[in-house]
Structure formats: structure tokens, C-alpha cells
Amino acid sequence: MKIFSTKQIRLADKLTIERQNITSDELMERAGKTVFNWINRQLVNTKVKIHIFCGIGNNGGDGLVVARLLLKQGYDISAYVVNYSDKRSKDFLLNFDRIKNLKYWPELLTEDNDLPRIGANDIVIDAIFGIGLNRPAASWVAAIINHINKSGAFVLSVDIPSGLYMEKAITEKDTVIRANYTLTFQLPKLIFLLPQSGIYTEYWEALDIGQDAEHLYKEPTDMFYVEKYDVLGVYKPRGRFSHKGTFGHALIIGGSYGKIGAALMCSEAALHSGAGLVTSYIPKCGYQTIQASFPEAMVLTDSEETHISDIKFDITPTAIAIGPGLGKHAATVKAFSDFIIQNKKPLVIDADALNIISENKHLLKSIKGNAILTPHPKELERLIGSWKDDFDKLEKAKQFSKENELVLLIKGAYTVTINKEELYFNSTGNPGMATGGSGDVLTGVICGLLAQGYSLFEAAIMGVYIHGRAGDLAVLRSGVEALTATDIIDFTGDAFIDLLKKNTKDYQENQDNA
């Protein structure tokens, strides 16, 4: 699914109006009705007080459409117009007149008004500001926003939480609605997927408002939200006469005294994601652990007991993962550097291997065009330097990926795969996956896919999706708090089954509508 900029969203609206021969007001009515239908399905005329806070632009117009339809359906509503300017959009005024024609007059809120009472069991619909906001709200409007946030009511935002900017970081945190749920229009917004701005909506959903399909399909973008059908597009089915050699040989290099589990989980995950063969290269102290816990693996050991000191092997892997549990012993750092300089196989680089590279930046030229890097935020900072906000972070990460011709993952709630200028945000995963070993499993899943012949980019987006989906399925059994990294491994097969269980007809329809 594509992610559009503000300019592209406005162009989509414009072309929809032109090509479907409708007015801007009719498109607003369609959007508002879509939101109303969603609300009505959830409430089914439940007796609950609903407060609708509308601005005076098009987002406020959407809110007035929702308020009018709720009123006509018999809901108990109070509609307010936050009168922050003398300028009102044409379609806002049209819908203001329409609700008044029902003999209902929304309350005008100005700097001099008392704040309306909101009960903790009420619902608030936020339609104050839309995608065009580019400066903090006035102090009295901020007071309304804070009043809503402190009310304890369920807050539903229309399109985006009021106060957020579409393409820059917020500067005044107390001027943003904290929504429980956001109903956005047609496509996801980038700001929902970034840590600093995503916290302002607990959940979000993109509602189809019938924007021009041809434009949505053809309009280029460098930002995407990766869902099931995107991953199905790169999935490689298995032939009946294939064998273990067909699916490659994954080599996992890692482990040190006390951290053999990281290499073990990475190795198991590589096999569970489909690698035909898996070999673990570990210090001697891990030999019995790997052999006893993971009989499917082959094991090679370093000459040292507690750490890796010299990376040499007589096998021919098709892909290599290096870093989980590796440690930073002086001999390990040298062994890693020597290995990286001469290696020609595709790599997945994680954990301590990333930290070694961050301290020895000259090694980047040896992995150029041949590696996937999987840092968490702190490891990323060591690689690319600090950033002032999430937008700056993405720009620096894109530049790093482009300069070094590497696929870069930034792990998080919506793990983003960066392929030069392009950003791919993952749709799967849950907070239970914030647990030790989860990253080692991800590295193994990606390496297993890479071993099977997937490209660096394909292995990255598919691996992140499958890893997150396995976590989503596992958490249904374990609960968020009890989820472990080995649970994710156990449910990797279920994630593949889930990927493939949709029938061909549904898949084709999705492709046709892409």
C-alpha cells in the first residue's frame, strides 16, 4: 500500500473530483459518511453521549457531515465549532448550513467560552485540524485539546489527530490530540508509523473513500506500507521435485560464552524460514548446546572456547548471518574484520557485528551492495550519527543506504526497510515482541530467505513481515507479557500458512485494485 505526501493527497482529491465528475462537497460527504458508517457499525445506536469538535476547514467540514448523520440517526450529540480563524472553507460553510437546516446549531467555541463538560464514558470525535496544519495551535485551542485529552473519554480522530503535522516533527507536545483511534482516508499517513508522532494515535485504520483508482495505482511514491499481498508478490513457491540443495545453505556466525542462545535462535529461525541446510559457526563452549537443542543443524566450532577468534570454514554457504551473541573480544573484532574483507556471499549483519562496523567504518566498503543491516535505534545511531527527529533520522538512514548500497532495517513498532531512497514500513508485529532474542530470530529468518535465492530487498521485507506475523499469531497463545523469542520461531510456519491461505480470487482482486 502506498503512502502519499500532503501534496499527493490533495492531488488525489482533485483528480477524483475531476474524473468522477463530482463536486468537492460530494467527496466530503462521501468521506464523512464513510466515517459515520464505521461509527454506526460499532455503536449500533448505543445510548452514549458523542461530542464532535470541528475546525473551520475541510477537516471540520468532514466532522459536520459526521455530526449531521449521527443526529439524523438519533444519537445524542453535541457539536462544537472551534472558531480559530475568520477564514472558513467553502465546503465547511455548506455543511454548517446543512446541519442548521435540521434545526440544530453547533456551539461556537471562542477564546472566551467555558470548556464544555465531557464525561469519562462519553465519545469525542476530533475534527479540529487536518493535514494542512503547519504551526502550533493558539493557546486557547490548545486548552481545548488538553481538555479533551484529560477527559478520559474515548477519542476518535478524523483523518489525523488534530495538532500533528504531516511532514515535520511537532514542537509543542501539549497541542496534539491523543486519539484512541484514527480513521484516516484511503491510505496510511507516514506520521502514524514514526515513534515520535505515532504515539498520538493508539490505533488507526484507512477507510476507502473511493479516490480515483487509476491515480492511486500510477502515482509514484518512495514510501510504502507492506501488507500480505505485497509479500505474496515476492514469495517463491516450491516445486514438487525440489530438494534441500534447492533451498540453499545458511551459515550463522555468532555466539560467545553466555550468549550461545543468540546463535541457537538465529540458526533455528533460518531453518524455519525455509533454508535447506543450516550450519552454526560458534565457539567451542556452544557445541553441545547447539547439537543437543537443534539436531537439524550442522556445527562448526572456533579453536577458542569462549569466543570466536578466526572465521574459517570448508563449506560453501549461499547466505551468511553474523553478529548474534558475537561479543567484541579483540580477537573477535580482528576475525570479523578479516572475514568481511574477503567475503563474497550475501550477508545479514546484526548485533555486535553492527557495533564493530560502527567503530571501523572502513569495513563498509567491503560489504557494499552485499548486505542487509538490522540495527535497533541505538545501533543505528552508532552507524549514522544522531538525529534531531524522526524525519531527520529517515533522511540520514536513506543517505546511508544509498551511499553504501545496503538494505537497512530500522527495528521498531513499524520496522522500516530502507532500500536507497525507498521506505517500506511493516504492518505486522506487536509489543510482546520487545523481548530478548527477537532480533536474533529476525536475523535468522532473513538469512534463511536470502539462502533460498531471494534478493537482499525481497528477503528483508518478507523476513520482517513473516517475523512480525509469527509474533502476532504467537501472542494469541502466550499473551503480550509472556511472549518469547522462541515462541516466534515456533509460529513461523503458521505465519507462512497464513500468508498462503487466501484464495487465488481474493489475491487477484487485490492486485487489480492495487
Give the separation between CA 176 and CA 121, rounded to whole angstroms. 21
Q: Is 279 annotated as a binding residue?
A: no
Q: Is 90 annotated as a binding residue?
A: no
Alpha helices (runs of H) in 151-299, residue ranges in sequence order: 195-198, 213-218, 228-232, 260-272, 287-293
- Three-state SS at 202: strand
Q: Is 375 annotated as a binding residue?
A: no
DSSP states along 461-512: HHHHHHHHHHHHHHHHHH-TTT--HHHHHHTHHHHHHHHH-S-HHHHHHHHH
Q: Is 429 annotated as a binding residue?
A: no
Q: Is 132 annotated as a binding residue?
A: yes
Give the CA count within 13 Å in the CB-facing half-sphere of 500: 10
Q: Is 62 annotated as a binding residue?
A: yes
DSSP-derived letter for residue 2 is B
Alpha helices (runs of H) in 44-177, residue ranges in sequence order: 58-72, 90-100, 139-150
Q: Is 61 annotated as a binding residue?
A: yes
Of the candidates 258, 281, 440, 481, the residue with the CA atom closest to the CA atom of residue 348: 440
Torsion of CA 356, 357, 362, 365, to 10 degrees: 140
Per the CB < 8 A criterion, the answer to whether 358 and 331 are in contact is no
Per the CB < 8 A criterion, the answer to whether 249 and 276 are in contact is yes
Q: Is 411 annotated as a binding residue?
A: yes
Q: Is 45 annotated as a binding residue?
A: no
Q: Is 262 annotated as a binding residue?
A: yes
Q: Is 131 annotated as a binding residue?
A: yes
Give the chain's largest Cα–Cα span: 86
DSSP states along 30-60: HHHHHHHHHHHHHHTT---EEEEEE-SSHHH
Per the CB < 8 A criterion, the answer to whether 422 and 408 are in contact is no
Q: Is 159 annotated as a binding residue?
A: yes
Q: Is 162 annotated as a binding residue?
A: yes
Q: Is 126 annotated as a binding residue?
A: yes
Q: Is 412 annotated as a binding residue?
A: yes
| β pairing state of 371-373 and 347-349 | parallel
Per the CB < 8 A criterion, the answer to whether 137 and 111 are in contact is no
Chain-centroid distance, C-alpha 89: 33
Per the CB < 8 A criterion, the answer to whether 57 and 127 are in contact is no
- Binding residues for AMP, by number, are 411-415, 439
- Binding residues for K(+), by number, are 59, 126, 162
- Binding residues for (6S)-NADPHX, by number, are 58-62, 130-136, 159, 262, 325, 376, 440
- Binding residues, by number, are 58-62, 126, 130-136, 159, 162, 262, 325, 376, 411-415, 439-440
